[in-house]
Structure 1
């Protein structure tokens, strides 16, 4: 990783330009902390709109509660969340997180007073909860500064700051957390803005560079100016 890059300044510039362009994202869209947890699992390996359909099904079936998910037959649960894809696996994951929640009296607000690392470690011990989902829950449910990394974040940062010597989840996570203030509100908004930008302009194959608010600061564009990327 180049020692010539002022990462705190660069990362904040990216945030400020995206925020100026897109405005507040008001993420995570949910009616409760538990719904956010459910959404974090249902959106694994699928588009958010598919997770939303599954969430709506759960609400219509009166299953948007930990106790309800624990008691319902797993085949019924799987069919209810079918729109999210991988529904059999996700049904098991929902059962697992609800079993975990029982230790906290089904009250995820208790997590807000926990140590961040301890909570994240416990979540990673729950079946089906990987680093990204754990960070989703720590950030958006417990309101703690744990930066969420996904493919959108990796794509944008790797393009704007090319030749980074980072490739793994924890390395990207450290890039943000080591160079930004530990502010949950900032991490929340930053992650949401990166996701929006990836969906709107910084597409995987043919990004819309001419409309991009980062164009003057994007290393890949300035180096190649082709408008086509493999990343």
Structure 2
């Protein structure tokens, strides 16, 4: 673990570039949950096509999806890739959530610890998906760690190459507190930075955080 003070600097630099992004792009809490499953191993543009298809058929809700046969759902979400697997996961999670909590609003009233225990036992809900649901659908103060977070934090020197997810999250909470809006915006800005500049082969010249980035300082422009 190194240079953890940089989290605040990175947040400030990114905020200056991107501002408040109001991510996750969704009209309802149900839509967020649906999106977290659809976005696994695919691009967001493909997810948007699926969401549009679901809305056209008036089934973009957990209650509607829970009553479907996965075989009915699969062709509707085809553009997301792995659509047979995802259709089953979507039907399962929709059924399990609606059976237990009825609505996302009622679910959001529960404490984070209970929700984590509930979500992590649902097949197809990994750590990133669970944290995305907690943060964006249920509005809990949870930071989502994804591949962009790990790449950017490692290159800037905030963390090491193999820092565990729990340690990364702890470091973020230590430096930024438990302001849900700030945590959500940091994650969103890191996604944008990862797509715009901190790619597998980085484009450092116009990167907003290059002034505090170990990779740029060491490798040069």
Q: Does 1:130 align with 2:126?
A: yes
Cα drift, residue 106 of structure 1: 3.2
Compared with structure 1, are the counterparts of its residues 165 and 116 closer, same or farther at alpha carbon in structure 2 (3 Å cutoff)?
same
How many residue pairs were aligned?
221
1:223 to 2:218 alignment: yes
- For each residue in 1:124-152, what CA deviation from the matched residue of structure 2 results, as whole angstroms up to 9, or x when unmatched? 11111010000001000111111101111
CA distance 1:193–1:163, change in 2 (3 Å): closer
Match of residue 39 from structure 1 = 35
Number of the residue aligned with 1:214: 209
Distance 1:89 1:172 in 2: 30
Deviations 1:11-44 (A, max 9, x none): 1110110010112211111110000100011001
Displacement of 1:105 in angstroms is: 4.7
Whether 1:62 and 2:54 are equivalent positions in the alignment is no
Range moving further from structure 2, 104-113 or 46-55 = 104-113
Counting only pairs closer than 5 Å after superposition, residues 85-96 of structure 1 correspond to structure 2 as 85-96=81-92
Query: Cα RMSD between the aligned structures?
Result: 1.6
After TM superposition, the score normalised by the length of structure 1 is: 0.90
Q: In the alignment, what sits opposite 1:198? A: 194
Q: How is 1:93-172 mapped onto 2 (pairs within 5 angstroms)?
A: 93-161=89-157, 164=160, 166-172=162-168
Contact 1:162–1:220 (Cα < 8 Å) also in 2: no
Matches within 5 A, 1:22-33: 22-33=18-29
CA contact (8 A) 2:11 2:186 kept: yes
- Tell me how far 1:51 sits from its aligned partner: 0.8
Q: Higher relative contact order by CA 8 Å / sep ≥ 6: 1 or 2?
A: 2
Runs of 5+ in structure 1 lacking a partner?
Answer: none
Task: Call closer, same or farther: CA 1:162–1:11 in 2, change over 3 Å.
Answer: closer
In the TM superposition, what is the alpha-carbon distance from 1:104 to its structure 2 partner? Answer: 4.3
The residue matched to 2:143 in structure 1 has which SS? Answer: coil
